[in-house]
Amino acid sequence: MKHQVTTLTTERFSLRPIRAEDTAALYPTFRDEAQMRYWSRGPFASEAELDGWLRDPTWDGHCWIAEETGGNGQAIARLVAIPDMDGVMETGYLVAKHRQGEGIARECMTALLDHLFAPKAEGNGGGYGLRRVWADTDPENAPSNALLVCLGFMREGRLRSQWETHIGVRDSLVWGLLREEWNG
């Protein structure tokens, strides 16, 4: 990965840079057909394939791994921010299947959005100073769409037949959140 990320903390979690051992912890989710249904690709066939994808040194995104504060250090979620244009990033997330429904995505995404919208500072401190964060989801991905609404994202449009994926040609909902709208 090209970008080193700052560790972020919430009441229950630490969001840190990815480590080699995270692949094994996340593989059960990334190989699961139901969990990968609305992704742009199908399930991963092996840990090696997933590791190559998760830790691709040419990928231009920023990746945080959520682990429980005071826990065993095991990865329970992956959150990303992908540069789009100056002041704008796309975001995405996936929570380990055995931990879904616990509010992990909401809590961790709140911390990430705080960081992405926070002003830049000299040196290694501060945030990214973004003006806009956006996401795209499959219209049928009800949990993800509900999370974005809960976080304050506005549905900005529907791109018809946007993606050709492992489950066929899919529409995409585009969601946006502006810095001045963020109430984290």
- DSSP 8-state secondary structure symbol assigned to residue 58: T
Q: 10 Å Cβ neighbour count for 5? A: 20
Confidence label for 13 from pLDDT (cuts 50, 70 and 90) = very high
Which two structure tokens, joined as six digits, stand for 17? Answer: 């840079």
User: For 127, what's the count of Cα atoms within 13 Å in the CB-facing half-sphere?
Assistant: 18
Please state, in angstroms and rounded to a whole number, the distance separating the CA atoms of residues 18 and 63.
7
Confidence label for 1 from pLDDT (cuts 50, 70 and 90) = low
**Residue 65 near residue 13 (C-beta atoms within 8 A):** no
> What's the pLDDT score for residue 27?
98
CA proximity to 78, closest of 17, 37, 135, 33: 17
pTM for the full predicted model = 0.95
- Share above pLDDT 70 across residues of the chain, in percent, rounded to a whole number: 97
* DSSP reduced 3-state for 49: helix
> What's the pLDDT score for residue 126?
82
Confidence label for 121 from pLDDT (cuts 50, 70 and 90) = confident
Q: CATH classification of 8-181, choosing from 3.30.1330.10, 3.40.630.30, 3.40.50.970, 2.30.42.10? A: 3.40.630.30
Residue ranges per structural domain of the chain: 8-181
Confidence label for 143 from pLDDT (cuts 50, 70 and 90) = very high
Please state, in angstroms and rounded to a whole number, the distance separating the CA atoms of residues 96 and 78.
8
161-180 in b/e form (b: 16+ CB < 10 A) is ebbebeeeebebbbbbbebe
| pLDDT tens by residue, 46-95 | 999 999 999 999 999 999 999 999 889 999 999 999 999 999 999 999 99
Whether 125 shows a pLDDT value over 80: the answer reads no
Continuous H helices in 14-89: 22-30, 47-54
